[in-house]
Amino acid sequence: MNISIDEAKIVASKLNYRHERGTVIAVLQDAETKEVLMVGNMDKEALILTLTTGLVHLWSLSRERIWLKGETSGHYQVVQDFKVDCDEDAVLLLVKSQGPVCHTGNHTCFYRNSKFFLEHK
């Protein structure tokens, strides 16, 4: 999925960038299985890049820059669909993943449950 720059700017202008460093929350979900893969942040520029290229771009809070998800690993996240929450401060990106999403090598960043933390306290 990708849209024109003009359409992307219209969508981006309607969001409420109220989270840390002027971002919206970005939830990546597998388009087929609906499994939540990761949560990140997007500023307006990252959102526009995502919508126009069809590849997920995020705002890195630690590096203070936009980054293309998969730029070092090659595990790009291809956007299949895009939704905005009711408060317009979070987006849901349904993606087709081209490899593990988590920097640990796991398919999803949500691979640990409460039992893990109880066993490793």
What's the pLDDT band for 54 if we cut at 50, 70, 90?
A: very high
Residue 23, SS3 per DSSP: strand
Annotated ligand binding at 81? The verdict is no
* Contact call for residues 67 and 38 (beta carbons, < 8 A): no
Annotated ligand binding at 30? The verdict is no
Q: What percent of the chain stands above pLDDT 90?
A: 89
Residue 121, pLDDT > 70, answer: no
In order of their start, the domains of the chain are: 5-119 (3.10.20.810)
Annotated ligand binding at 87? The verdict is yes
For residues 103 and 115, what is the distance between their CA atoms, to the nearest angstrom?
A: 22
Note the pLDDT tens digit of each residue in 77-95. 999 999 999 999 999 999 9
Q: What's the pTM?
A: 0.92
What's the pLDDT band for 38 if we cut at 50, 70, 90?
A: very high
Annotated ligand binding at 6? The verdict is no
* Contact call for residues 55 and 68 (beta carbons, < 8 A): yes
